[in-house]
Structure 1
Amino acid sequence: MTASAPGIPELAADVVLWSAEESERGDRPLLVLLHGYGADERDLFALVPYLPAGFVVAAPRAPLAPPWPAPGYSWYPIEGLQSRDARSTTDAASALIAWLDLVAGDASAVGLLGFSQGAAVAIQALRLEPERFAFVVNLSGYATPGTLPRDPELVERKPPVFWGRGTRDDVIPAALVAHTTDWLPEHAELSGRVYPGLTHSVSEAELDDVRAFLEKQLEAPEAPDLPPPTPIG
């Protein structure tokens, strides 16, 4: 079992939303939704009706509260000196993995779908434990700069990753977008799209593409070891 990360509290077991009761989950694939900065577990859980029904969906709440008066919760600080340290993203991903150790149960596969900060945590978790995650959906997020010990495994494995972002997204710094553009194709089987006019948000067109990507993952019983999906767009 993974120990909780230093500086990041444990994820609370009583503030997670599930699409199915525990008795109904069995070995169905698990899709974990990671909300963005200043939101909570209800944010992405609203997407459940638009996602393939084959997944059990879990939406945990991030463990940190941003400084007042910012609303909601965050996975790692983005203010002060900690925001400049990639270790914060790694610690947040470690806390997520520790939570999964407790809740993933008999899930046949685990995939991550994150928005913005949640997407950064999803990619970092994939880098920490490449064999654990079948795929990642990165919505308006980024890959954290720096190297991690198991990055070479990703280069060999190339798990499926969907990356969607908008041309008018002015929240994620251009340098992080540029880094992610260079980093992801080397470490993942990348598909996705850049959406004209989209701001730091999710559009209906993007949701359609995400659903197609997720349906492709359901077709693969052991997604990490099978051919990746055909790129969208």
Structure 2
Amino acid sequence: MNEIPLEHVHVAPDDGVEDDPAPAVFVLHGRGADEEDLLPVAAELPDDHHVISLRAPDRLQDGYTWYELDLSAGGLESSQPDADDFRRSLDLIVGSVEAAVDAHGLDADRIGLLGFSQGAITSLSLLLEDPDRYAWVVALHGYLAESHADLDPDGIGGKPVFVGAGAGDRVIPQSRTEAAIDHLEALDADVTSGSFPGGHGIGPQELDAVVEFVASRTA
């Protein structure tokens, strides 16, 4: 059995669900959070899924971060991932997905990503690097990193992607999320998007839309 590189929480499908190998969703938290943070969101998804919530590799106060921020273009609203940190985390996530498929008997053709903030930015980059690896992606309150903005990979056409933004988000302005939506649509991804009330968090309306999207893609 391959060891999963990143610390994580694994929640198996509900007892009585007969689907072997089973689908899975890999959950990527935001900056300063941890692998427990998005479990309440994942708990609302279809109960035939494994949930594997990964912990970012670097400590940040009481939580963890996927990368440090490059602020050379200005303030937080113009930040980008530090290139070296970002590359390391992307590789660790891919390695964790591959190891978990073996360790937990997952269906490699039915792997989803669900990320918030830094986790959303990371999820979109993983999708653009290897669209065939993921059946669908949910990216909430994120943007498309400049390092991946010029990628036009085979397999992105028709790929289901949900992108959510907060109308009052002051951490990642809605305009940055909208730019990611425009780019994905230009690549012919199957984009579902929405702007939701509130700031940098997942409210009930957004959660309902995410659950509907995932259920419709995994039925």
Fold shared per TM-score above 0.5 = yes
TM-score range, shorter chain: 0.7 to 0.9
2:65 aligned with 1:74: yes
Alignment gaps of 5+ in structure 2: 73-78
Amino acid at match of 2:152: D
- What's the offset of the Cα at 1:101? 1.5
Within 2, Cα distance between the matches of 1:179 and 1:145? 11
2:27 aligned with 1:33: yes
- Aligned partner of 2:9 in structure 1 is 17
CA contact (8 A) 2:127 2:134 kept: yes
- Aligned partner of 2:163 in structure 1 is 163
Within 1, Cα distance between the matches of 2:198 and 2:71? 29
In terms of mean alpha carbon deviation, does 130-139 or 40-49 score higher?
40-49
- What's the offset of the Cα at 1:144? 1.2
Within 2, Cα distance between the matches of 1:166 and 1:148? 22
Amino acid at match of 1:193: G
CA contact (8 A) 1:145 1:179 kept: no
The structure richer in strand per residue is 2
- What's the offset of the Cα at 1:160? 0.4
CA contact (8 A) 1:18 1:56 kept: yes
- Aligned partner of 1:176 in structure 2 is 176
- Aligned partner of 1:132 in structure 2 is 133
Query: What secondary structure sits across from 1:65 in the alignment?
Result: strand
Give the length in aligned residue pairs.
202
Query: What secondary structure sits across from 1:98 in the alignment?
Result: helix
CA contact (8 A) 2:128 2:153 kept: no
- Aligned partner of 1:89 in structure 2 is 86
Alignment gaps of 5+ in structure 1: 1-9, 220-233
- Aligned partner of 2:76 in structure 1 is none
- What's the offset of the Cα at 1:80? 6.3
TM-score, normalised relative to structure 2: 0.81
* Change in 2 beyond 3 A, CA 1:137/1:42: same
Within 2, Cα distance between the matches of 1:151 and 1:86? 20
- What's the offset of the Cα at 1:93? 1.7
Report 1:60-71 matches (<5 A). Answer: 60-66=54-60, 70-71=61-62
- Aligned partner of 2:75 in structure 1 is none
Query: What secondary structure sits across from 1:18 in the alignment?
Result: strand
Within 2, Cα distance between the matches of 1:186 and 1:117? 23
Query: What secondary structure sits across from 1:190 in the alignment?
Result: strand
* Change in 2 beyond 3 A, CA 1:180/1:54: same
Identity %: 30
Within 1, Cα distance between the matches of 2:147 and 2:23? 31
Query: What secondary structure sits across from 2:58 in the alignment?
Result: coil
- Aligned partner of 1:186 in structure 2 is 186
